[in-house]
Amino acid sequence: MDKKLEGILDILDNLNSSINIVNKEDLDELYENLEDFRMLTKDLDVILNNFGSLDKNNGDEIEKMLFELHRIITTFEWHFSEISDLNTKILKNYQDKINND
């Protein structure tokens, strides 16, 4: 999935390079965030791989795992939201920019 997000950023970066709707620092930050996304994916893999060994009768252990899942899911949402916001900025302004230049 991280390669697909990077592909989306590449498209947005390419489009933005000719119209400069979004500043380069914002784009660079999203590229840097991809490493955090990769780490998050690894955290999720650990949970998925270890779920079978959890004691389903141990409420503390299950609660800890569920809180960790919540953290991962909400952070995934944040990453997608940031890229979506960038896409929306370009979407709202692209046509006007290319028609006015």
Residue 99 forms part of a structural domain: no
Domains contained in the chain, number: 1
First to last CA, the chain: 35
The first and second tokens of residue 72, run together, are 């991962």
The domain containing residue 9 runs over which residues?
Answer: 2-93
Residue 40, in any domain of the structure = yes
Q: Per the domain annotation, does 98 fall within a domain?
A: no
Domain-embedded: residue 23: yes
**What are 14-26's pLDDT values in tens digits?**
999 989 999 999 9
Q: What is the pLDDT of residues 38-92, one digit of tens each?
A: 999 999 999 999 999 999 999 999 999 999 999 999 999 999 999 999 999 999 9
Residue 101 lies in a domain: no
Mark residue 58 as left, alpha or beta (left: phi above 0; alpha: psi -120 to 50; beta: remaining): beta
Q: Which of 82, 89, 91, 90 minimizes the C-alpha distance to 28?
A: 82
